[in-house]
Structure 1
Amino acid sequence: MVSDEVPLQPSERLVRELDWNLLRTFIVLAESRSVTEAARKLRLSQPSVSTALKRLETRIDKKLIERAPGHFRLTHAGELLYREAVDIRGAIFRLTTLVRDVTDEVQGHVKIAVASHVVCPIFDAALAHFYARHPKATVSIDVHSSHDAVAAVTGRSASFAICLVRERNPKLEYSRLYREFFGLFCGPPHPLFGRSGLKHGDLAGHASVSFETDRLHDVLRPVTLMRAEANLGERIVGTSSNLEEVRRMIIAGLGIGPLPVHVAKGDVEAGLLWHLPPYDKMPEIDVHVVWNPRANLNRAEQALLAELQTRIEATPIAERTYR
């Protein structure tokens, strides 16, 4: 007797047979430095994790991780699978948003990933107006490095992000929220504090503190160039991804450091910071709203993101530029 069943294509068979737990284990492996570390994170035995990896490689029919003493890294196939698996994980995390609230009131939780230096009246006004209209909604704001904020949006663990952007992910959407200018500052213990008429050359050789992203290949490249033009000492004595901690080190006198001028204004007026050259041609840095158009946002998330976008579109960039 001849069967009428049509043979499954390899992709269809994979969809039917692939276990999500294998992908979950693989994500943890990809974000670890060894099988031992991944097993500890998953609270499983090392042989169980190794077996899961082997099963997944058999299902995919590709080697995903190259392992050897002192060597543990993703193959090209592993990198491709990791990116897609993170996307799948985000979709699973947000499955509950597919069931919309049937009441007329907007409810739901909005989780925003924000870089530590975000000071923006437009964002504040959007948040206030949103809550006044939708008091049943809830909001949480988590402070991250800009890199981690974008990663949270990519993985759909954040509703949207407000942060700096180095390279644009074609899967995400971006809207410039505001533009800020970075200047150099020192604190009261520093020998340049309180001195007027300073010139670029007066900063030469002084120690500096800065952000972890203050590198030529990273998001604060213009700030890196500003420090280089000031001829500051090559060694950065303190770094942080958090603006408050960079500010703390500057005020404590560890060195000269960069801060957004409009954020530092209050500390300058209070005598905690002193603005140093350059006073013109300061580097411009754009801060963006970043969201994932493929994420299934709940009504509260949609409402706040729409409120913010409306205010951005209605406000000329000149009014969203803070000097």
Structure 2
Amino acid sequence: MSDQEIPAREPSWQSRRLLSDRLDWNLLRTFLVIGEEKSISRAAARLFLTQSAVSQSLKRLEEQLECALILRRGPRFDLSPAGEEVLRLAEEIYGNVSRLAATAKNPQDDVVGKVRILTISQVQSDLYDDFLIQLHRDHPRVELEIEVMRSADIQSSLNQKTATIGLGLCRFPQTKLERRRLLRQRYAFFCGKRHRLFGQRRLPLEALQGENFVSFTSDQLGGNLSPLTMFRDQQGFTGKIVASSSSFEEIRRLIIAGYGVGCLPEHLVDIDLHNGLIWRLPPAEGVVDVDVFLMWNREQRMNHAETVFLDSFRRLLEAAGEE
């Protein structure tokens, strides 16, 4: 039996009574990340810790709870039934703890608190920028915490109630999440200045059929950008995907470096087009429109600042005709 596999036993009533006093909440947070990443090594990278430190934290939590939380399967592991339940509770606990500091009210201001926002990179919206400007003018004591991540991770965090607001792609409705469209992005094909198609005018769409592609990692069937894959398949493109990333910046870098043809949002590459770094390819009308949504969990209890942020943003979207 490995050090991580502690046999489950029924905790005594004394241990239950003292558990809340002696439980180290940092260990619970570490286990939450382990459960989200399904990997000790990835959890260590995300927490900026060594794998040994994460493993020791897991072992200490199992000792405190007096049960095994993971079941090892060679280099992989599964959560035990107890681990699944602890993970569920940890998500609820952390969602509440992360907002504790935002519940206090300052008598000198009507709206005080923290709003945690998760967003994809490169959200360019004058409407959103104007909203943030006005929010700060009206409620200068509202604190914003903004983190950039993938759309799938944003949805997961909102479902776990560890954030207030999400700005990202959401191709299909989610059971617990509300969404309102913030903006629509038109994706089109581009190549870099080192690519053989660069600078060629009046190209037919068939010219792309054998070209290799640079792809977003969500550009797969079922992903948020899967319409791009469907378009390539419908057109009979036979080229391989030679590089991929979840990051707009890295996809742009790979296209400019000449790795292959790739899809990018038109409004984010105007400067690159002007500077001659990339070249617009057919079809002239673009490939697909992709919506960026404002998202939140309808079951989440919000503090005053979060409620003001969300209600104000929704009213602005409604007035702009995006609701």
53, 61, 83: which one pairs with 1:52? 61
The residue aligned with 1:311 is: 316
Q: How far, CA to CA, are the matches of 1:26 and 1:203 in structure 2? A: 47
User: What is the CA-CA distance between 1:231 and the residue it aligns to?
Assistant: 4.3
Structure of greater relative contact order (alpha carbons < 8 Å, 6+ residues apart): 1
Q: How far, CA to CA, are the matches of 1:93 and 1:296 in structure 2? A: 12
The residue aligned with 1:5 is: none
Alignment coverage as a number of residue pairs: 302
User: What is the CA-CA distance between 1:151 and the residue it aligns to?
Assistant: 3.1
Counterpart residue identity of residue 125, structure 2: C
Q: 5 Å matches for 1:1-323?
A: 19=20, 21=24, 23-24=28-29, 26-30=31-35, 31-33=37-39, 40=50, 43=53, 46=56, 49-50=58-59, 52-53=61-62, 56=65, 58=67, 64-75=69-80, 78-79=83-84, 81-280=86-285, 282-317=287-322
Distance 1:94 1:135, change over 3 A: closer
Scaled by the length of structure 2, the TM-score of the pair is: 0.78
Contact 2:178–2:298 (8 Å) recurs in 1: yes
Distance 1:42 1:100, change over 3 A: farther
Q: Percent of counterpart pairs with the same letter?
A: 35
Backbone CA RMSD of aligned residues: 3.4
SS at match of 1:216: coil
SS at match of 1:43: helix
Q: Residue deviations 1:130-178, cap 9 Å, x none?
A: 1222233343432211122233334444331100124544333222222
Q: How far, CA to CA, are the matches of 1:169 and 1:118 in structure 2? A: 21
Q: Residue deviations 1:284-309, cap 9 Å, x none?
A: 21211112344454444333322221
Q: How far, CA to CA, are the matches of 1:118 and 1:14 in structure 2? A: 50
> Which 10-residue stretch deviates more, 281-290 or 206-215?
281-290
SS at match of 1:162: strand
User: What is the CA-CA distance between 1:212 and the residue it aligns to?
Assistant: 1.3
SS at match of 1:128: helix
SS at match of 1:250: helix
SS at match of 2:269: helix
> Which 10-residue stretch deviates more, 195-204 or 154-163?
154-163
User: What is the CA-CA distance between 1:276 and the residue it aligns to?
Assistant: 1.2
Distance 1:70 1:270, change over 3 A: closer
SS at match of 1:213: coil
Counterpart residue identity of residue 53, structure 2: R
Q: How far, CA to CA, are the matches of 1:187 and 1:269 in structure 2? A: 13
Structure 1 unpaired stretches of 5+: 1-12
> Which 10-residue stretch deviates more, 79-88 or 144-153?
79-88
Scaled by the length of structure 1, the TM-score of the pair is: 0.78
Q: How far, CA to CA, are the matches of 1:126 and 1:91 in structure 2? A: 27
